[in-house]
Structure 1
Amino acid sequence: MADAQALEIEGPQGEVRRVRLSSPDKVMWPASEHGPKITKRDLADYVVAVGERLVGDSLGDRPVTLQRFRDGITGGEFYSKNPPKGVPDWARVTECTYPSGRTHDQLVVDETATAVWCVQMSTITWHPWPVRTGDNDNPDELRIDLDPQPGRSFSDVVEAATGLREVMTEIGLTPFVKTSGNRGVHVYARIEPRHEFLDVRHGVIGIARELERRMPDLVTTAWWKEERGERIFVDYNQACRDRTIASAWSPRPLPGAPVSTPISWDELGAVDPGELTIRTVPERAKGENPWAGMDQAKGDVGAAIALWDKDVEERGLGELNFPPDHPKMPGEPPRVQPSRRVAEHWDADGNRVSD
């Protein structure tokens, strides 16, 4: 391995941050049919190149979970919610409350140098919470993940995203879009932080169900994979507390080092997500920002929550399944896949009853 290197990175007010990068030639992405190998130093250089966008569009002033790969993408991965040891003195942390009720600090990535330090800690993907550190309980960002099932193409995802944009716009939200870095698309909207996580999740379900009614053959809100068929899953559970999506401008741990990249709605139908990689995205980051103005486009999630309320009151629709690591919630359906469910073993609240 090459000797450690010291990177000098400009900080606030012209300050210079020094970040030590050990094993700079460690391979994070091996060479493949998608391109040559990418080293830890290559990843650090990428972060420096897009740092202003990475921090400004996605990470700044938010709790961040780090997806780390000590041996590159071919090794094991783990998620750091607690700040790793050795956090630089210029970085800060913020306390978060988890679904279990416990609390602890998470790292805040407010400047490029902190993101590069995360690379030193073998971070490949950043996962920010949809909150600001001044209020870690009320989201200021609504996020919807369109997850295509096998058999669906990216053009199908584009069609679903276009329909989703229409629904969101009709209820007063301003949607922005990015590639997921894989096969899907992520749609975001800034919201006023006036509602807690469960209310925002219900608003997302309201939007998802409306989209499902308009495009029943293309999209689904079915939590269980056996019920989705080939439809695109509208992942409403990304709105849960402690559930996060790869940030804008984050690389993904997939061959070729694809990047979850903000794009304009006009180019959504023409873009090839596979061409948006660590090698190509820095040049793109120099151009016009398709997410410019997002912070000024805050909407009220109340209209989305009203969709949820209408479904409950007029259509008799109720709660949907939560992620398995969350506590059992009131009204939640049984946490067992439908093909294995025996009706008499579950009460009306989705709790298992003994024989």
Structure 2
Amino acid sequence: MAALTVAGVNVTHPEREVFGPGGPTKGEVVAYYESVAAWMLPELARRPLSLVRCPGGLGSACFFQKHHADTLGRHVKPVVLEEKGGDEAQYIYVEDVAGVIELVQMNTLEFHPWGSHVDDPDKPDRLIFDLDPAKGVPWKDIVAAAREIRERLGDIGLTSFVRTSGGKGLHVVAPFRTGPSWDAVKAFCEGIADAMVADAPKRYIAQASKAKREGLIFIDWLRNTRGATSVTGWSLRAREGAPVAMPVRWEEIARLKTGAAFDMNKAVRRGRSLEADPWEGMGTLKQSLP
């Protein structure tokens, strides 16, 4: 098949099946990201990114990439950030749909932004709890955990939002005014997770130990550190069936059955039918981290 031009970007090999035989093609993935870009970019634009790239599709090795390269495209921007050892490196960010499509042309399937912007990467402006259940944990328990986090945050004045992870669980996200340090945000989130474990040790765990996780929901607060990332809303996941991490309204989660309830086709239909962003107000809330 001839190359396509999408958002001004030349897309090669659009016929390649990137999700296995019979699964979505590269051209369909490009069309997907173009169609949902208006919903996706507010959470993605001008944030340092880590990418999951799968040059040979799911049948080959996929890898994370966080450093910039000129080969990624002219709309894929570099930002110089200090790394743990003190050295500096060029990280990736995008500003528009052309940058997203250039990354998909380079076989990107997943987009994982920081919790801060490139303008001030050491000043986070959102926190996230990733609820990762052990095998066999009922969906209703995952929903209850998300609601409990919402309630705890609400009790201290923070409005939060929820999305499916595209996997087994849910993400609870809360924006706040820039100002707190990464260490302060990390300590705050650890405190919430530890309190939930203390109150219900037979339901939750806050340690990243798979050996101890059986029958429990891991409240992953560790993504609230400098350099850590979490999949953005509307991003595909590099998994069989092309599931999507989907922002939803709080009242929607009880009607779902899994964190992978939305695949690419359902996400396209949802994007076309939505009259308002499920996370409406996310970018304009004026609330402060206690």
- On whether the aligned pair clears a TM of 0.5, the verdict is yes
Aligned position for 1:117: 102
User: In the alignment, which of 13, 24, 42 is matched to residue 28 of structure 2?
Assistant: 42
- Distance in 2, matches of 1:52 and 1:93, equals 22
Matched, 1:60 2:60: no
Secondary structure of 2:162 counterpart: strand
- Displacement of 1:284: 1.0
TM-score (ref. length: structure 2)? 0.94
Q: For 1:129 and 1:65, how far apart are their aligned partners in 2?
A: 8
Displacement after TM superposition at 1:79 (Å) = 1.5
Q: Once the 2 structures are TM-superposed, how far is the Cα of residue 136 of structure 1 from its aligned partner?
A: 0.5
How far off is 1:113 after superposition?
1.2
- Pairwise CA distance, 1:210: 1.9
Matches within 5 A, 1:1-355: 2-7=1-6, 9=7, 18-31=8-21, 36-56=22-42, 58-272=43-257, 273-286=259-272, 287=274, 288-301=276-289, 303=290
Q: Using the alignment, how far apart are the partners of 1:39 and 1:161 within structure 2?
A: 34
SS in 1 for 2:251: coil
Whether contact under 8 Å (1:147, 1:234) holds in the other structure is: yes
Per the normalisation by structure 1, the TM-score is 0.77
Maintained 8 Å contact 1:139/1:197:
yes
Secondary structure in structure 2 of the residue aligned to 1:134: coil
Structure 1 or 2, whichever has the larger Rg, is 1
In 2, the alpha carbon distance for the partners of 1:274 and 1:126 equals 16
Bigger mean CA deviation after superposition, 277-286 or 40-49: 277-286
Contact 2:76 2:93 in 1 (8 A): yes
Residues paired across the two proteins, number: 287
- The 3-state SS of whatever aligns with 2:128 is strand
Amino acid at match of 1:289: D
**Percentage identity across aligned positions?**
29
Amino acid at match of 1:47: Y
Counterparts of 1:65 and 1:274, CA distance in 2? 21
Q: Which amino acid aligns with 1:27?
A: E
- The SS at the match of 2:112 is strand
Code of the residue aligned with 2:225 in structure 1: it is C
In the alignment, the residues of structure 1 paired with residue 197 and residue 150 of structure 2 have an alpha-carbon distance, to the nearest angstrom, of 13
2:165 and 2:260 in contact (8 A); partners too: no
Note the aligned Cα RMSD (angstroms).
1.5
C-alpha deviation, 1:168, in angstroms? 0.8
